[in-house]
Each structure stands twice: as C-alpha cells, then as structure tokens.
Amino acid sequence: MIKARINHIDVEVPEGTSILDAARQVQVKIPVLCKHKDLHATAACGICIVRNKGGNRLIRACCTPLENNMEITTHDREIVEVRRSTLELILSNHPQACLNCGRNGECELQTLAADFNIPQESIKRYVKDVAPDTSTGSIILEFEKCIKCGRCIQVCQEMQNVWALSFLDRGINTRMAPAGDITLAESPCVKCGQCSAHCPTGAIVENDETPEVWKALHDPDRICVVQIAPSVRVTVGEAFGLPPGTNLTKKLYAVLRRLGFRAVFDTNFSADVTIVEEASEFIERFVNKRGSLPLITSCCPSWTDHMEKRHYDFIDNFSTAKSPQQMLGVLAKTYYAQKLGFDPAKMFVVSIMPCTAKKYELSRTEEMYASGYKDIDVALTTRELARMIKQSGVDFLNLPDGAPDSILGDYSGAGTIFGATGGVMEAAVRTAHFYATGKKLEKVEVEAVRGLQGVKEGTLNIGGTQVRVAVAHGLANVEEVLERVRTARRTGTETPYHFIEVMACPGGCIGGGGQPYGVDNERRRLRIAGLYQDDRDCAVRHSHENPEVLRVYDDFLGKPLGARAHELLHTRYTARPLYKR
C-alpha cells in the first residue's frame, strides 16, 4: 500500500493507483478532460496538473501513480491559473456552437467551462473549417468539435481492435479522422459507436434521426409502431437523472403511446423468437451434426460487420437467425399487418436501440427487406429517444404505467437478458437444454457466462453431453477466442468451443454506443443488475415458453427453421473488403 497526503489529507491506496483516483478516495475532485475510466491515461489535455511538494514541475494526476510520502496539492493559485489558461486555449480551438450541438447540456467541455466560469474570450478563436463525415448514416464525425483527447482512437484501436480512427497530421493541424483520410464508410468502422459514447464533446455523435420520426408521427397517413430493445429499459432513466439499472419498461410503453405510436412492441418478444430459431440451429448442428461448430451468435450488427471484414473464415459458423430488431420488423410488416388489416406500405416501424450500428443493420443486406418493404424504417438510439421524450412535453417519470400491445409484446426473462453480455448465450442454453433433453434446467441462471470479464468460458451439461461455450464482449476480446478455434482447425483437433457469443460493446448492449453518456464498469454492472432483476421478475423465463411466441409460430411461422421462418427470419453473410476504396 502507498501512503501519502493529498491536500494535507492522509490517503492510503494500492500501489499503482493514480493521483487522480487516489484523490477521489478522499473526496478531492481533480478536473480532467481526456481521461476516461474505461481507458488508460494518455495525458493529452493538461487539465489535471497537480503539484508534488519539492518538485519543480507540475505533474499530471491522471497518469502519475501516487508514491509513498508524496505531498500533493491539487489546487493552488498557480495550478488553477494554468488550468484555466489551458482550458481557455482548448476553448479557443472549439466552435463553441453549444446551443446547436448534439451534446448541449451533456458536454464535458461545456461543464468544465461552466465550472471555471470563464467570462470572456481573451484568446482569438481558431477553428479549422472541416466538413463533417456523415458517410455511415450511423455515426457523424464533427471534426471541428474535436478536442483531440484521443479517447475515440483508444476505444477504436484498443478496446474494439477496429482501427478505423486515428490521428492524422500534427501540431495545430492534428485531427481525429478515419485512418488514411478516407470516409468512415470506406474505413473498417463497424459503427459500434463506442467512440461516440466516450467522446467528451459533440465531435462524434449518432446520426440524429428524430426529425424523421417526428415527421412520420405527425403524418396521419402513416401507421407508426415502435419496439424497445432489452437494454433500453434499464438505461433510459439515466438521461432523466435516475440511477443506472432503473427499470422503466412500463413507463416506456406509456410514453411511446403518448408520443403517438399506434402500437408498442417489445424487442424482448423477438429476442425470444431469435432464441427459438438459434437454439434450434444449435441443436441441428450439435445434436444432428448438420452444419459447422462452433455456432456463433450474430445478433450484434457491429460484430457481424467486423466478422464479414476481418474474420470471414467464420461465415459458416454464424447463426443465420436475424437479430431481434429485424425479426420484429419483418413480423410487424407481415404478420401484424395482416392480422390488423394494415397496409404494410403505410406502416412506419421505429426501433429504440442501445446502438448506433442498428441504424446500419436496417439496410445491411436484401434480407432486411423480407417483408417486401424496409422491415424497420428508423432505428433510434436511447439518447435520441430521451431527446424525443424531452421534446414531447410528457412528464415521463410520473406517467402511469403502460402495457405493450398484446401481440409482439410479451416477453420471457430469457429475452430481457439479451441486453447483457452472456445473455444471448444464457437464453439459448435454457432453450437448447429443453430441446435436447425435453427437460428444463434445474437452475436457469448460467453463472459461468455472467459478469464483466472480457472472455468468459464454461462447460455446460446438456443431457449428459458437455457443451463448451465462450462469451466475448468488446471486440478486442474476440481475437483470442477465434484464434483458439483457428488453431484447432489448423491442427485438426477438436474445436475448443461449441457455442460462442460475441457482443461488440463491453458489457453487451447495456454498454452500447447509443446509450446515455458516462458509461463505466460501475454503470455497466448496475445496468446488468437491472436486467437480471427483470429476468427474475418474469413468470416465464424460457423463450420457447413465451405464449405469444408459440402463437406466432402456430398462426403464421410454422416450425422453427421451417420454410416461412427461413424466408422471414434468417439472413446471409458475405466477405467484405476491409477498406472500400
């Protein structure tokens, strides 16, 4: 343990703890712009400087480990002056179009500037005029607003191993941009949006499609319906000041109706459909030995995109089942439309997703038009929904509880845990066990696949057969799992895994790139706990027991993996070039 003093307060922390973290323990807040809890310190902003007694230099609290007998001063006249000047310099290189910015009110730079109370601009502003990159339709790069903290680049390169973003040029011309100075759409970007979730300013934001949704809602000829993704229910409250993990499912049903949606569905329902298909696929491959093992989940569009670009030797291993978002879309424009006599051409299906890549998924392949129309018209992120609610004038938190539509709305506990890393695996195992053995698991919680460890492995007993599974989240963690499979392929040994779940974002969808700002592992844990609680609260905890799912199969789809299911609920994958240029 390290013993030292910060602002004359004794502090004792484990070796290697940064001054910044040590100060937090004694309720001292050192202002910082570039350091994010998820990421290692890059020491870029220069705001977190502190003084160590006897040292001539000011040192950065973010990257300097506390040492024994240090006597740290975090605030004195010179330190505060230097911080203020540095902040003013940063502001002089920032457009300060706060009122027109997607991050207005939620911007770390804006907050810091407000804290410092900078009354006037003493340094002439210099912002280079660069057009934003809107090429992906998912994520927008507003280069002018970038403060070069480097978080997005660290996220893209280290957390996600995608390497789409990098720093180009140097000096005052330094800019964050797709590596090679191409457009983001031409880059290896998988649209996961983790860059936007970690950006301290409005330099990387989701493509805001709320105006389009408002337009449809206000159009009397459109029949607007909506679905809510599993994770959104436990995160949206954060945008309204509630603690992470607060489950607002019923409030969401209510508010969406107030917004003007004719029907409110729950993606948890289609998650259950996905599991029925995917578990059937697994049984087909594992028990009936038809198809490649391991089976790899495909409901994360960023992961799918990443696989098609970098790991296309695993195409045959991918589950062909569509993601819950797409399944619900196609069922809405076919089954639901038929049932209620709606013209699918007039339907406008909106999905509320934790994710920026879901915007990309809407038009990923032609199978996304299986209904004959674009199955989902617009995918909104949690952040966009929060904005819409605020614009609507509805007192969201005090609404009476609502209910989903009775069709495509009911869900099992297995559907809701899709939002957490390991959730898809756990849901699939619950159903696969039943399909294989005809019996339900004694204990439905599959602890081996829970938690925030980057790669989780387990061996599950399904009817006396050992099923080896792996769960990876955060794309950088995928490599070691796939590498093990590849090694086994090369050496002709038995595959190390039968079933692999991958989610692009750390923590799974609850940590998605479209979720409310300020994510860190503490929040991820709370959000996940919210989902597991929802699971426990469900009477039905197996996807294949969801009565509405059973009814849809009886009424419309036929058998899992059957002809109609195949036509509407499955997709294909192709190898794609890493760089489209």
Partner 1 sequence: MKTLTRQELEDFAANPPANPPEWIRVQLDTGGIAAGAEAVHAALAHEREERKLLFSLQRAGSIGYSFADPVIEVQAPGMPRIHYGHVTPELVGQVIEDHLRDRRLIDDHVIATRQRAVTLDGPVTHLLVRDTGPETGSKTEFFQFSFTEELKRRGLAERVQVVRALDIGVYEEGAVIQLLPSGVTYANVLAPDVARIVAESIEGGRVIDDLLWKTPDRQVRIVLRNCGDVDPDSLDDYLRRASGYQGLRRALFESNPEQVIAELKASGLRGRGGAGFPTWMKWQLTRAQPAPQRYVICNGDEGDPGAFMDRSVLESDPHSVLEGMMIAAYAMGASKGYFYIRAEYPKAVERIERAIRQAREQGLLGKNILGSTFSFEAKVRLGAGAFVCGEETALIASIEGRRGSPSPRPPYPSVRGLWGMPTAINNVETLACVPAILTRGGAWFAGFGTETSKGTKVFAVTGKVRNAQLVEVPMGTTLREIIYEVCGGVLDGREIKAVQTGGPSGGVIPVQHLDTRVSYESLQQLGSIMGSGGMLVMDKTDSMVEVAKFYLKFCVDESCGKCAPCRIGGYQLLQILDRISRGRGSAGDLALIQRICQAMQRASLCGLGQTAPNPVLSTLRYFGEEYQAFIEGGPSYARKVSRGSASPAKAPERTGTTPPVNPTPSNR
To the query of whether residue 280 is one of the catalytic residues in this protein, the response is no
In whole angstroms, the minimum distance from the beta carbon of 174 to partner 1 comes to 3
CA 133-165-387 angle, to 5 degrees, is: 55
Tell me the H-state helices in 219-344.
232-235, 249-259, 267-286, 301-310, 324-331, 337-340
Q: Which of 1, 99, 172, 539 binds partner 1 (CB under 8 A)?
A: 172
Strands (DSSP E) contained in 322-394 are: 347-353, 378-381
Segment contacting partner 1 by CB under 8 A, of 171-179, 254-262, 289-297, 420-428: 171-179
To the query of whether residue 319 is one of the catalytic residues in this protein, the response is yes
Contact between 173 and partner 1 by CB under 8 A: the answer reads: yes
- Given the complex with partner 1, which of 27 and 126 has the nearer CB atom? 126
Count of other CB atoms within 10 angstroms of residue 526: 17
To the query of whether residue 361 is one of the catalytic residues in this protein, the response is yes
In whole angstroms, the minimum distance from the beta carbon of 46 to partner 1 comes to 4
To the query of whether residue 187 is one of the catalytic residues in this protein, the response is no
Q: Which of 25, 69, 104, 174 binds partner 1 (CB under 8 A)?
A: 174
Contact between 165 and partner 1 by CB under 8 A: the answer reads: no
> What is the layout of strands, in order, in the sheet containing 455-462?
295-296, 499-503, 465-473, 455-462
In degrees and rounded to multiples of 5, residue 500 shows phi and psi of: -130, 130
Q: Which of 54, 119, 171, 492 binds partner 1 (CB under 8 A)?
A: 171
Contact between 22 and partner 1 by CB under 8 A: the answer reads: no
In whole angstroms, the minimum distance from the beta carbon of 74 to partner 1 comes to 14
- Total residues contacting partner 1 by CB under 8 A comes to 40
In whole angstroms, the minimum distance from the beta carbon of 482 to partner 1 comes to 24
To the query of whether residue 278 is one of the catalytic residues in this protein, the response is yes
CA distance 523 to 237: 12
Contact between 444 and partner 1 by CB under 8 A: the answer reads: no
- Given the complex with partner 1, which of 171 and 492 has the nearer CB atom? 171
User: 203-234: buried (b, 16+ CB within 10 Å) or exposed (e) per residue?
Assistant: bbbbbebbeebeebbeeeebbbbbbbbbbbbb
Catalytic residue among 144, 206, 278, 545: 278
In whole angstroms, the minimum distance from the beta carbon of 80 to partner 1 comes to 11
CA distance 533 to 275: 20
- Given the complex with partner 1, which of 78 and 313 has the nearer CB atom? 78
Segment contacting partner 1 by CB under 8 A, of 118-126, 276-284, 412-420, 534-542: 118-126
* Residue in this structure with the two tokens 């300060």, named with its chain if needed: 96
Contact between 83 and partner 1 by CB under 8 A: the answer reads: yes
Segment contacting partner 1 by CB under 8 A, of 119-127, 200-208, 353-361, 553-561: 119-127
Contact between 123 and partner 1 by CB under 8 A: the answer reads: yes
Q: Quick one: which of 226, 227, 229, 225 has its CA closest to 416?
A: 229
Contact between 260 and partner 1 by CB under 8 A: the answer reads: no
In whole angstroms, the minimum distance from the beta carbon of 90 to partner 1 comes to 5
Yes or no: say if 268 and 459 are a contact pair by the CB < 8 Å rule.
Answer: no
Q: Is the dihedral of CA 163, 165, 168, 171 positive or negative?
A: negative
CA distance 506 to 532: 17
Q: Which of 25, 85, 461, 465 binds partner 1 (CB under 8 A)?
A: 85
Q: What is the DSSP string of 79-92?
A: HHHHHHHHHHHHHH
* Residue in this structure with the two tokens 């007192």, named with its chain if needed: 395
Contact between 476 and partner 1 by CB under 8 A: the answer reads: no
Catalytic residue among 146, 299, 300, 538: 299
Catalytic residue among 191, 251, 358, 359: 358
| Tokens found for residue 407 | 């069709």
- Looking only at residues 499 through 558 of this chain, which bind partner 1 when binding is defined by CB under 8 A? none
To the query of whether residue 98 is one of the catalytic residues in this protein, the response is no
CA distance 218 to 260: 8
* Residue in this structure with the two tokens 């790899």, named with its chain if needed: 296
Q: Exposure of 491 by Cβ count < 10 A (0-12 exposed, 13-18 middle, 19+ buried)? A: exposed
Contact between 89 and partner 1 by CB under 8 A: the answer reads: yes
To the query of whether residue 358 is one of the catalytic residues in this protein, the response is yes
In degrees and rounded to multiples of 5, residue 123 shows phi and psi of: -110, 130
At residue 54, the 3 state secondary structure works out as coil
- Given the complex with partner 1, which of 82 and 98 has the nearer CB atom? 82
The strand pairing partners of 224, in sequence order, are 348
- Looking only at residues 38 through 77 of this chain, which bind partner 1 when binding is defined by CB under 8 A? 41-47, 49, 56-58, 60, 63-65
* Beta-strand pair 499-503/295-296: parallel
In whole angstroms, the minimum distance from the beta carbon of 366 to partner 1 comes to 40
The DSSP 8-state label assigned to residue 138 in this structure reads S
- Given the complex with partner 1, which of 73 and 93 has the nearer CB atom? 93
Contact between 130 and partner 1 by CB under 8 A: the answer reads: no
Strands (DSSP E) contained in 408-464 are: 455-462
Q: Quick one: which of 24, 23, 45 has its CA closest to 35?
A: 45
- Looking only at residues 138 through 157 of this chain, which bind partner 1 when binding is defined by CB under 8 A? 147-148, 150
In degrees and rounded to multiples of 5, residue 40 shows phi and psi of: -75, 160
To the query of whether residue 299 is one of the catalytic residues in this protein, the response is yes
Which are the catalytic amino acids?
Answer: 278, 281, 299, 319, 358, 361, 366, 509
Positions in the binding site for partner 1 (CB under 8 A): 41-47, 49, 56-58, 60, 63-65, 78, 81-83, 85-86, 89-90, 92-93, 122-124, 126, 147-148, 150, 166-167, 169-174
